[in-house]
Chains A and B, each alone.
Chain A
Amino acid sequence: MSAELPIHLHGVVGEFETPEQLLEAVRKVRDAGYKKFDAFSPFPLEGLSEALGVGFWDNLVPQITLLGGLVGGLGGFFFQWWANVVSYPQNIAGRPLNSWPAFIPVTFEMTVLFASIFSVLGMLALNKLPQPHHALFNSERFFKHASNDRFFVCIEAKDPKFSLAESMQFLQKLQAQHVTEVYDE
């Protein structure tokens, strides 16, 4: 990172009109050796994850969901067992205290409940949301179009390869429109 980068510079943003152009540009940004960059699409775009080079460690949502399911399932079952066998045993129509088949419906519901909650909270946490403000929202065009009809690429200033002039030129070479720098303040 060169020393003369303006303070508060978040990065440079370029705009594309179609998903195909975005995917093409993202691949080229990645091939050029950039690490800290992101693409923005108003809907989940097929192939974007691959183009961004998202790896195993970038998405731990399935693992977190599984963990939630295990916590809910095991916790749910053993809680019922503890409540109805150890803490407050009751003779219901002569059935065994540990009548485990009767505990299955609640165990199932708890598995689903905890897996769902873990999944969503995990997704939000990994995405660092809620995050009410972000530097990109300072860009007028990004704010108006990223959630509507345009596709964006942002190369962040944190990237070791980043240089204001060169990175802007690079985006322009990729036929990005409205290439601008974005400041965070």
Chain B
Amino acid sequence: MSMQKPPADAPRLIRRITPVIEPGHTYASVTDKIASIVLTRPTSKGWLAGFAFCFAIVMLLLVAVTYLFAKGVGIWGINIPIGWGFAIVNFVWWIGIGHAGTLISAILFLLNQKWRTSINRFAEAMTLFAVACAGMFPLLHAGRPWYAYWMFPYPSTMGIWPQFRSPLIWDVFAVSTYGTVSLIFWFVGLIPDLATLRDNALQRPARIIYGMLAMGWRNSGRHWHRYQSSYLLLAGLATPLVLSVHTVVSFDFAIAIVPGWHTTIFPPYFVAGAIYSGFAMVLTIAIPLRKAYQLEDFITMRHLENMAKVMLATGWIVAYGYFFEFFMSQYSGNKFDVYLDQMRHHGPYAPFYFALILCNILSPQLLWIRKVRTSVPALFILSLVINTGMWLERFVIVVISLTRDFVPSAWGRYSATFWDYATLLGSLGLFTALLFLFVRGLPAISIAEMRELVAHGPEAEE
């Protein structure tokens, strides 16, 4: 059944599109190929070198954070009036990157898109690690991070409660809920695969660890029934959640009255930008991953091309957002808003603005060309360009607005210090180091769902 070929007289055009799994795979071959990465393959030199490099960058983060805790946020480039520097830029950027993971795992699941199957697992892992990196920045930014728990409502001896009318408190709830639900969703998806690893593990310690994590899952039909219903509900819950998270993050800006922040277009365009940068990051990870572990059969050109199309579409939503931001401030006639636009185009940070337009709007237009969409190196470079562009977008939003407030006496300049860059680089190191560990210790592709694809055959899609 699993090796079924299409009947000889089947019309040839059925196979015109690249399949989501290459033909010829059986249940056992799928299990083998994915589980062997974790269980039997020797740890490669490339993995060790890559992990060591990222781990060294994590140590840089450790130094930067330790120095920050010792000296305070004064070591950063922030000042008055620019109180939100790299920390908030990085926070918004990281949390946005996470969004594609949930989108792939939840929204594409609800829409029954079969091509999500081989990318959802590591995209979800990417979400978790991105949220971890994001969550770190508000804490570091808090100045006295040891009081960060004050943001949570707990019965304190001081008899006070958080102020729930503040977007910053909404943010605490949105991000912590997002982190928790992403973790639950990811773990539930992992349970059947952990059972597979338990049953195939060669060494006793691995069997015990995977066995404890699998919680005794035994693939019972009655269990699957409840499992699927829970998974579907989680997908249904995660869908509005992911839209709400970046909406709430955009409220941090939109609720304030600062020129360039106080706009109603922020929520939808933040969400679109989040998905845009997230898909770029999924590509940045998927391309080396499929190469390193020969997963081209599972992460096919079809996946890469589909992700490129999603980037093109969300890129246009983001472009629409930029245009209307500009148009509305001109049309409003509000002199502060008009002036802020002038500052974006001609002010001291104009190079950042134009680099942002180049990275986020102009260069992705190459994706209209099929040859670019199906070229692995081109996609990899574009994914890096887009992520740079999305970081610049947050920089433009945060910094330019704060340097040009309402009165000239409140104007200022901002430039990042070594420690700002060290923390940003360190968070990238943390993210990649976690990904390295994930790829080594857990199945990067959902084995159970790949078996489903085998059962339906490579032709059965859409």
- By a beta-carbon cutoff of 8 Å, the part of chain A in contact with chain B is 18-20, 26, 38-45, 48-49, 51-52, 54, 58-59, 61-62, 65, 79-80, 83-84, 87-88, 90, 92, 95, 99, 102-103, 105-106, 108-110, 112-113, 115-117, 119-120, 122-124, 126-127, 129-134, 136-137, 143-144, 146-149
Establish whether residues B224 and A148, one from each chain, have CB atoms under 8 Å apart when the complex forms.
no
Give B291 Cβ to nearest chain A Cβ, in Å: 27
The answer to whether B164 touches A148, judged by C-beta atoms less than 8 angstroms apart, is no
The answer to whether the Cβ of B24 comes within 8 Å of any Cβ in the partner chain is no
Contact assessment for B233 and A132 in the assembled complex, using a CB-CB cutoff below 8 Å:
no
In the bound complex, do residue B181 and residue A38 qualify as a contact, i.e. CB atoms below 8 Å apart? no
- Binary interface encoding of chain B residues 207-221 relative to chain A, with 1 for a CB under 8 A from any of its CBs, else 0: 000011001111111
7 of the cross-chain contacts (CB-CB < 8 Å) are A43-B192, A52-B222, A61-B233, A95-B165, A112-B177, A132-B212, A149-B27
Inter-chain CA distance A146–B221, complex, in Å, is: 11
Complex contact B248–A105 (CB within 8 A): yes
Q: Which residue of B lies closest to A72 (CB)?
A: B177
Q: Which of B165-201 contact A (CB under 8 A)?
A: 165, 169-170, 173-174, 177, 180-181, 184-185, 188, 192, 195-196, 198-200
Q: Is A132 a contact partner of B211 (Cβ separation < 8 A)?
A: yes
**Given contact pairs A45-B455, A112-B240, A146-B219, a sample of 19 additional A-B residue pairs in the complex whose CB atoms are under 8 Å apart:** A40-B220, A42-B451, A43-B448, A59-B226, A61-B229, A62-B233, A90-B163, A110-B177, A112-B238, A124-B215, A126-B226, A127-B220, A127-B222, A127-B226, A129-B217, A134-B216, A147-B199, A148-B27, A148-B200
> Residue among B188, B195, B218 with the most chain A CB within 10 A?
B218
Considering the complex, which residues of chain B in the window 372-428 have a beta carbon less than 8 Å from any beta carbon of chain A?
none
Residues of chain B whose beta carbon lies under 8 Å from any beta carbon of chain A: 1, 26-28, 31, 153, 159-165, 169-170, 173-174, 177, 180-181, 184-185, 188, 192, 195-196, 198-200, 211-212, 215-230, 233-234, 237-238, 240-241, 244, 248, 251, 448-449, 451-452, 455
The reply to whether A120 and B188 form a contact with Cβ atoms under 8 Å apart is yes
Name the distance in Å between A152's Cβ and chain B's nearest Cβ. 8
